[in-house]
Amino acid sequence: MNKPTIIFDMDGTLLDLAYDDFIWNTLLPIRYAEIHQCTLEESKKVLFTFYQEHNHTLNWYSSKFWTSKVGIDVLNMQLEYKHKVSLRKGCLELLKFLKNNNYNIWLATNADKAGLSFKLQEMNLASYFDVIVSSEEIGHAKEFIEFWQILQQKHPFDPKNCYFIDDTEKVLNGAKKFGIEHLISIQQPSSDTAPRLTFSYPMLETLTDLISYLKHTEEPKKYA
C-alpha cells in the first residue's frame, strides 16, 4: 500500500483562527459602523444576520462577495492586518515530519484564492504541499460531496488511504459522505476561544499529535 494522502484544512487547523475571528467579529463590525454611521451594536446585529444567512456557502468564503455586500474592501482589510496571521502550535514540526517521511501533503481550503495566497505567502508554507486547492476553484464548498468528487477528478487519490484534518464539523461530515477513511479535528481552532470538551470526531490537542496517531495506524500495515 502507498503512503496515505494527508489533506489539511488551513484556517483553524494549520493557522490560528484567532486572526479570522478578529477580522470578521471585531474589525469588520467597527469598519461597518463607521461607514454606515450606526452604533457598533447595530453593526454587529446586521453583520451577524448576514453571516448566518451565508454560513457554509461559497459566498461566506468570498472576499468579493463580502466587499459588495458590506461596501468595504474586505480583502484589503485582511491584508492591512496580515501580520496577525499565525501558525497553530506544532504546525511546522508536523509538516516537516510528514515531508521527511514522504507523505503526500495536500492543502484543501474554503478560503478564496486571494485569501489562500496571502496567508501562504505570509507564513511561507506553500513549499510543503504537493497539492493546494481552494473551494473557489472547485466551485463547491468542502461541506458538499461535490467538492470531493471534483477534487478527486482533478487530483486522483484513494479516500480509503487518506487522512483529512479540519476544525469544522460540517466540512468533516461532507468528507465522510464522500468516504474519506480517517477524519480528525482540532481541539482549539482559535487561541482566543476555549478548547472544545467534546466533538463528533477525534481531536488533535497539538498538531504534532498526528505523528503518534499515524504511527499507531500506519505502522502495523507494513507487517500485514
Binding site for Mg ion (CB under 5 A): 9, 11-12, 167
- Quote the least distance from Cβ 79 to Mg ion, whole Å: 20
Contact 139, 150 (CB under 8 A): yes
Nearer to Mg ion by Cβ, of 11 and 104: the residue is: 11
- Quote the least distance from Cβ 42 to Mg ion, whole Å: 29
Separation in Å, CA 218 to CA 5, 182, 210, 211: 12, 11, 11, 10
Nearer to Mg ion by Cβ, of 13 and 104: the residue is: 13
Nearer to Mg ion by Cβ, of 5 and 190: the residue is: 190
Whose CB is nearest to Mg ion? 12
- Which grid coordinates are listed for 159? 479516500
Nearer to Mg ion by Cβ, of 12 and 174: the residue is: 12
Nearer to Mg ion by Cβ, of 15 and 70: the residue is: 15
Alpha carbon distance 165, 186 (integer Å):
8
Query: Closest by alpha carbon to 7, among 118, 115, 151?
Result: 151
Alpha carbon distance 98, 129 (integer Å):
10
- Quote the least distance from Cβ 195 to Mg ion, whole Å: 16
- Quote the least distance from Cβ 169 to Mg ion, whole Å: 11
Percentage helix, strand, coil, to 5, in the chain?
55, 10, 35
- Quote the least distance from Cβ 61 to Mg ion, whole Å: 10
Nearer to Mg ion by Cβ, of 17 and 214: the residue is: 17
- Quote the least distance from Cβ 41 to Mg ion, whole Å: 28
Separation in Å, CA 33 to CA 45, 52, 69: 11, 19, 14
Alpha carbon distance 51, 29 (integer Å):
12
